[in-house]
Chains A and B, each alone.
Chain A
Amino acid sequence: MHTTTEPVLRVSGLSARIGDLSLVRDVGFEVHRGRTLAVVGESGSGKSITAAAVMGILPPQIKAEGSVFFDGTELLGEPARRRRARGGAEIGYVFQEPMSALHPLLRIGTQMIRPLRHHLGLSRGEARDRALELLEQVGLGGERKVLDAYVHELSGGMRQRVMIAMAISCGPRLLLADEPTTALDPTVQQQILRLLVRLREELDLALVLISHDLGLVARYSDEVLVMYDGRVVEQGLTAQIIEQPAQPYTRALIDAAPRLGRRVDRLPTIDRAVLDQTRAMAGGV
């Protein structure tokens, strides 16, 4: 455990609302270097809003309160300009759909070189060399042509590798991956997650993995935060929570997923009572 070191990211008392409607309430967690924290929940649980708040990309009509403390600075309420300079350099982002996160009309090389020149002040030639190194790091080393390719010419797995290469390009200390493999085939998904975990070790990053998939979370994270209805239901070490969840909601969520080797006749569904209880316990109405 890294409890003695300062966390790279500390979120506390984070709430987000649109007008009177509360989207996320009192969310808090810490991530340390070299560790992976998974934020897991179903749609509407608030996991993506939480991620967006950390990334500073909440739509303007959503108001956030609380604290997002990154490496000694408070990010919440930071002026947009400073925030932009930080985003992409100190914090790397990997999104679910690289097809829409990457520019369709610019070559991959152009898109990779720009942030390198902007954030690190490299020359064109240096940036190009660095881009090739980065592609090598994400397993696209033999693919020189990638730099000259457009997004639509790459496969889903290659696109996500390019996204990851760009996310780590300026030496971030924190990598935030929001459903990074949801649209990918299982074998490709496995490769991408192994890549993320390997990079986290090699670069000594803190990794935050947002996912709806408990199976994936169980395999690839150290700590987990289970969310429901905008609130944290349970958090702690992944192995412990998957093995012995303290909350009935977490238990029910684990049981509802079909599991290899467990040949049941019917899948247990989540009780209304469990949902109501979970909502009440988390301090809601």
Chain B
Amino acid sequence: MDLVLDLDGVGKDFSAGPFFARRRTAAVTEVSLRVHAGRTVGLVGESGSGKSTLGRMAVGLLTPDRGRVTVHGQPLSSLTPKKMRPFRRTMQMVFQDSSNSLNPRMTLEDLLVEPFRAQDLHTRAERRHRAAALADEVGLARSGLARLPHEFSGGQRQRISIARALALEPDLLVADEPVSALDVSVQAQILNLFKDIQQARGFAMLFVSHDMAVVEFISDQVAVMRAGSLVEFGSRDEIFDSPREPYTRTLLDAAPSL
């Protein structure tokens, strides 16, 4: 299988505290993790576990203080800003709060065309054509192409974010709590959409969530983080049927699933 994301001993520190007594704390100590093409690794942990920090390092939004992030054989640290820009096509991210990541004054069509414009790809006509195709792919009606973000529901806005992330055909998608703010019925639709699109396109996905049941549904493999460290990693069945770490068991036990 094709290795897409290779995190090798990756760590990140943040400073905290008053100015003269500033302390450095490790948000992520040293984590190694691999994600292959067509596969989903679910990353679970509670707030402060470092799961979002790790996700951001994986797509180059944060630079690690330790270790190495390699995407498709390309170490991100060796990319100059000039080379990074075109390389960003290969890795995309979907956030929890889609309404904050969409420009409120852009129509759906503008929003879907923007990724191509940013990368200077295709002719104008071709961009519009692709925008319409993306709308179809994520289940948004073409009749809504002229609408503004606030005219869409939360679930539809998350579809827009997914479409934007997919526009440049990334090899790696990092989704950070993409369904946490959604109602159960909408969450089911969006989770199905993630599965369908991944099956169709075959990208590698790192799916960050605090919800054990969601992670069980979406993942092939699962990584459990606590206080900046990876405490357990295994196939979905291993983690959910016979977790080795007591902490994983605690998380499973606390999950208010039916």
Question: Which residues from chain A sit less than 8 Å from chain B, CB to CB?
Answer: 42-43, 156, 185-190, 212-216, 218-219, 242, 252-254, 256-261, 263-270
Contacts and interface: CB of A to CB of B under 8 A. Distances in A.
Interface string B182-195: 01110111011001
A258 B254 contact: no
20 contacts: A42-B183, A43-B183, A186-B212, A187-B46, A188-B46, A214-B258, A215-B255, A218-B258, A219-B256, A254-B258, A257-B184, A257-B213, A258-B187, A258-B188, A260-B257, A263-B217, A265-B195, A267-B192, A269-B189, A269-B192
B214 interface: yes
Nearest to B196: A266
Contacts of B183: 42-43, 212
Contacts of B47: 156, 185
Given A185-B47, A253-B185, A267-B191, A258 B217 contact: yes
B177 to A, nearest CB: 12
The 10 closest A-B pairs by CB, nearest first: A267-B188, A215-B256, A42-B183, A185-B46, A216-B256, A258-B213, A260-B257, A256-B188, A186-B254, A258-B217
B210 interface: yes
B87 interface: no
B250 interface: yes
A181 to B, nearest CB: 9
B46 A260 contact: no
B interface: dominant SS: helix
Nearest to A216: B256
Contacts of A189: 254, 256
A256 B184 contact: yes
Contacts of B189: 269
Contacts of B216: 258, 260-261, 263
Interface in B184-225: 184-185, 187-189, 191-192, 195, 210-214, 216-217
B192 A215 contact: no
Given A260-B240, A269-B185, A269-B189, A215 B257 contact: yes
B44 to A, nearest CB: 10
Most chain-A Cβ atoms within 10 A of its Cβ — which of B191, B217, B250? B217
Given A185-B46, A186-B210, A269-B192, A42 B254 contact: no
A264 B216 CA distance: 10
A256 B187 contact: yes
B57 interface: no
A256 B185 contact: yes
B192 A266 contact: yes
Nearest to B153: A43
Contacts of B191: 258, 267
Contacts of A260: 212-213, 216, 240, 252, 255, 257
Given A260-B216, A261-B240, A186 B258 contact: no
A264 B254 CA distance: 21
A189 B46 CA distance: 11
Contacts of A269: 185, 188-189, 192
B148 interface: no
Interface in B45-80: 46-47
Contacts of B257: 215, 257-261
Nearest to A249: B185
A258 B210 CA distance: 13
Contacts of A190: 253-254, 256
Interface in B73-91: none
Of the candidates A188, A213, A258, the one having the most CB atoms from chain B within 10 angstroms of its own CB is A258
B155 to A, nearest CB: 10
A270 B184 CA distance: 10
B192 A214 contact: no
A254 B188 CA distance: 11
B133 interface: no
Given A260-B212, A267-B217, A186 B256 contact: yes
B251 interface: yes
A270 B256 contact: no
Nearest to A261: B240
Given A257-B258, A267-B188, 13 more contacts: A42-B185, A43-B183, A186-B46, A186-B211, A190-B253, A190-B256, A214-B258, A215-B257, A256-B185, A258-B211, A261-B216, A261-B240, A269-B192
A241 to B, nearest CB: 12
A253 to B, nearest CB: 6
Contacts of B212: 186, 260
